[in-house]
């Protein structure tokens, strides 16, 4: 067997493979002999079918199968040994009227080669790294939310500002008949609030759905309808009052602190506020880190210039999908995937040049940290190390989970590298300001 490469240009090459009978004949003969032993052909005893008949019936199929195996194995070996960085997979060149009976079989494969480029991590333009802080307004709201959650309901005779009113929304034409508890603090307009103030159990009021609540997405749940139906809904509904309560705020005392954080973990309102601030900012850090990772990724995609073997990749997409695509469809698919492909190449180069690797022990520790955070959400704050090891072993026995966790861990390693090497400018900002600036 002889394999040679013809370089077309920096991004395209053709590999030529010449296979002779000596490369496959012994293997083909061995398989045909095995076929002869088990062949069941009318008119012949089992194991005594003439070899000529076996070759006539099975020879071509066995030959093609063995040659294809040889091609695949040796082509992959050649690409590895020659350290050719290819995109997609080699594409066989079409050969009309191919003669499988020749003493030498010649095949050609098109290659798309990865481009050579540089990725300077020290960016020319500084990239914003957001530091999201929990301001006094947010902490006040969190404290009040806790007090409400752990407070008690006091029954009232008539509706007053800030009360919670349980009742049933109805609109016969729209099929609305839903019992719910309405927090008056969530009402948007004074008209609805004034309509309810002073009302008693058994009273009904008419309310317009459009602009009823400060948060539009809550409308579907209080009316018991789909989010799609609730969007831009502009009708009148009746609301019949069945229960009126005022939520008495829980006292900020040691009993509440122990209930929230464990015995004597927090001992004063000041410590509570510090804990809320620290916990909130820790959660915000995940969002700001994701934003930084996205921004650095976009910067590298926009500012790292290199050509791709577009013609080859388009043909590869056209020929290797689940269903054959037209040239136009393949061009559309390539345009959709080009940005992702560019970043895969950029990310791969950054990982290789900075020797970012994942060892099993660190993947296991990463998995245990993830499991621990999941358990904490369900109140299991101090799991035993043995329990974490057992759960991690089960998780890492699933290859899909290994892939997902490995990708997350590599993203963390890239983020740490970017924080160290990329030209960053820190911007301190409240969460509310962050949402407005980032998400508009």
d(CA 190, CA 44): 98
**Per-residue model confidence (pLDDT) at position 439:** 81
For tokens 């035993």, name the residue.
Answer: 384
| Residue 241 parent element (H or E) | strand 236-248
CATH T-level topology, domain 2-113: Alpha-Beta Plaits (3.30.70)
Question: Is 152-248 in the same CATH topology as 2-113?
Answer: no
Residue of 360, 362, 386, 392 whose CA lies nearest to 374: 392
| pTM for the structure as a whole | 0.73
Task: Write the pLDDT tens digit of every residue in 66-96.
Answer: 999 999 999 999 999 999 999 999 999 988 8
d(CA 357, CA 406): 10
For the chain, percent of residues with pLDDT exceeding 70: 100
Residue 381's pLDDT band, with cuts at 50, 70 and 90, is low
CATH T-level topology, domain 152-248: Chitinase A; domain 3 (3.10.50)
Backbone angles phi, psi at 111, to 5 degrees: -120, 140
pLDDT of 377 over the 80 cut: no
Count of positions (residues) in the chain: 440
Phi-psi map region of 232: left, alpha, beta (phi>0 left; psi -120 to 50 alpha): left
- 248 Cβ contact list (under 8 Å, min separation 6): 151, 152, 153, 154
Residue 243's CB is within 10 A of a number of other CB atoms, namely: 14
**Per-residue model confidence (pLDDT) at position 86:** 94
Task: Write the pLDDT tens digit of every residue in 213-245.
Answer: 988 889 999 999 998 999 889 999 999 999 999
**Cα 48 to Cα 25, 177, 285, distances in angstroms:** 22, 83, 77
Where do runs of H (alpha helix) occur along 134-200?
136-149, 190-196
Pairing of strands 152-155, 236-248: antiparallel
Query: Contact, 130 vs 288, CB < 8 A?
Result: yes
Question: Which of 204-208, 259-263, 280-284, 371-375 is modeled with the greatest confidence?
Answer: 204-208
**Residue extents of the structural domains in the chain:** 2-113, 152-248, 266-306+354-439
**Per-residue model confidence (pLDDT) at position 55:** 87
For tokens 């590869």, name the residue.
Answer: 316
């Amino acid at each position: 067997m002889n394999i040679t490469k013809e370089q077309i240009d920096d991004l395209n090459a053709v590999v030529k493979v010449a296979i002779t009978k000596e490369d496959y004949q012994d293997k083909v003969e061995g398989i045909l002999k095995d076929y002869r032993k088990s062949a069941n052909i009318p008119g012949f005893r089992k194991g005594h079918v003439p070899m000529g008949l076996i070759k006539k019936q099975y020879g071509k199929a066995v030959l093609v199968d063995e040659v294809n195996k040889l091609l695949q194995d040796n082509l992959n070996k050649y690409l590895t040994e020659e350290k050719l960085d290819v995109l997609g997979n080699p594409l066989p060149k079409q050969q009309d009227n191919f003669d499988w009976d020749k003493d030498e079989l010649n095949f050609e494969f098109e290659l798309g080669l990865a481009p050579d480029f540089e990725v300077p991590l020290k960016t020319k333009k500084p990239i914003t790294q957001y530091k999201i802080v929990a301001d006094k307004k947010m902490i006040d709201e969190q404290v009040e939310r806790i007090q409400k959650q752990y407070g008690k309901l006091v029954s009232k005779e008539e509706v007053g500002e800030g009360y919670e009113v349980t009742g049933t929304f109805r609109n016969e034409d729209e099929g609305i008949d839903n019992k719910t508890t309405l927090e008056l603090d969530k009402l948007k307009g004074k008209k609805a609030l004034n309509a309810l103030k002073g009302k008693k159990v058994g009273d009904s009021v008419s309310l317009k759905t459009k602009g009823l609540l400060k948060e539009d997405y809550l409308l579907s749940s209080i009316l018991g309808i789909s989010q799609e139906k609730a969007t831009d809904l502009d009708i009148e509904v009746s609301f019949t009052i069945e229960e009126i309560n005022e939520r008495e705020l829980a006292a900020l005392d040691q009993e509440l602190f122990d209930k929230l954080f464990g015995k004597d973990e927090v001992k004063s309102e000041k410590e509570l506020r510090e804990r809320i601030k620290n916990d909130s900012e820790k959660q915000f850090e995940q969002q700001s880190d994701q934003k930084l990772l996205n921004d650095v990724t976009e910067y590298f995609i926009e500012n790292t210039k290199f050509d791709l073997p577009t013609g080859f990749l388009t043909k590869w997409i056209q020929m290797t999908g689940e269903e054959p695509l037209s040239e136009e469809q393949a061009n559309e698919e390539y345009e959709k995937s080009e940005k992702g492909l560019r970043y895969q190449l950029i990310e791969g180069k950054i990982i290789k040049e900075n020797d970012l690797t994942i060892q099993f022990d660190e993947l296991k520790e990463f998995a245990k940290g993830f499991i621990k955070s999941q358990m904490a959400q369900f109140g299991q704050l101090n799991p035993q190390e043995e329990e974490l090891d057992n759960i991690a072993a089960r998780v890492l026995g699933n290859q899909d989970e290994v892939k997902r966790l490995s990708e997350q861990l590599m993203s963390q390693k890239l983020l740490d590298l970017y924080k160290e090497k990329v030209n960053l400018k820190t911007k301190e900002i409240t969460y509310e300001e962050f949402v407005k600036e980032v998400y508009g």
